[in-house]
Amino acid sequence: MCGRYALTVDIQAMLDILMNRYNMKIALPLNEYRPRYNIAPGQQVLAVINDGKQHRAGMLHWGFIPPWAQEPSIGYKMINARSETLAEKPAFKASFQNRRCTILADSFYEWKKEKNRKVPMRVKLKNNQVFALAGLWTSWKPQDGDIVYSCSIITTTPNHLMAELHHRMPVILSAENEKLWLDPSIKDIELLKSLLTPYPSEEMEAYEVSTAVNSWRNDTPECILPVQKTEENSP
């Protein structure tokens, strides 16, 4: 699964990514973005969609709330969507065809089981680049209040690296596959499914981080530091 991740680049770097990678003329207001080291379900996350004319960036609630939901709390059970069943699941089927998005990240966390403890690991690309997680988005209108736009991160089977940590991993899209995923004119289910594959393990790495990441309340640079560096810097 993917239950916690990070996006740590500063606002200028993010604006450059949005404008150069996605050809956006207008990006986010400065007050809507800040580096995040421990993003958790239920929070607002930076995502990219295509409205049929252009790419757009904005914040989505992490935790998919289907239009038919009675309560928004169902979103906590739908932070992830399995790639194998998107076309059949009633909650995700329409979004799979019509409301696809990417969620930007530069790493994610997984907890490795070692004897009687779970060790938090940070997983990232070796080149340190921001990457795009495949996602779905939707809108939900409560009886009273504003529309909530929410999303789910798609998971797939693990690559060799991730298999040592967990039996699932988030779908990281290549640059080519990201273009196809965001193209709303593509309706071919089999083509879309073919994009949702494990990312090459040789391009990824993982290392142990502080248990500070265990709590979503901790959202500081300490969360991404290797354990050795944290210990060396501790008083």
CA distance 86 to 98: 12
pLDDT tens by residue, 139-151: 999 988 899 999 9
Mean pLDDT over residues 42-58, rounded?
94
- pLDDT score at 116: 87
* Residues written for the chain: 235
What one-character DSSP code corresponds to residue 186? Answer: -
pLDDT tens by residue, 155-180: 999 999 999 999 999 999 999 999 99
Please say whether the beta carbons of 155 and 170 come within 8 A: yes
- pLDDT score at 234: 45
* Assessment of whether the complete model's pTM goes beyond 0.85: yes
Q: Beta-strand (E) ranges in 83-210? A: 100-105, 107-114, 117-125, 131-140, 148-156, 169-170, 172-173, 204-208
Active site residue 2: yes
The helix (H) or strand (E) run that includes residue 61 is strand 55-62
* Catalytic option among 2, 101, 151, 223: 2
In this structure, the strands spanning 148-156 and 169-170 are antiparallel
**Sign of the torsion angle spanned by Cα atoms 93, 94, 98, 102:** negative
- pLDDT score at 31: 72
* Catalytic option among 101, 110, 151, 178: 110
Q: Looking at the domain 5-233, which fold is it?
A: hypothetical protein yedk fold (3.90.1680)
Q: Residue 32: pLDDT band by 50, 70, 90 thresholds?
A: confident
Active site residue 151: no
**SS3 label, residue 73:** helix
Q: Is the pLDDT of residue 181 over 60?
A: yes
- pLDDT score at 144: 87
| Domain chopping of the chain, boundaries | 5-233
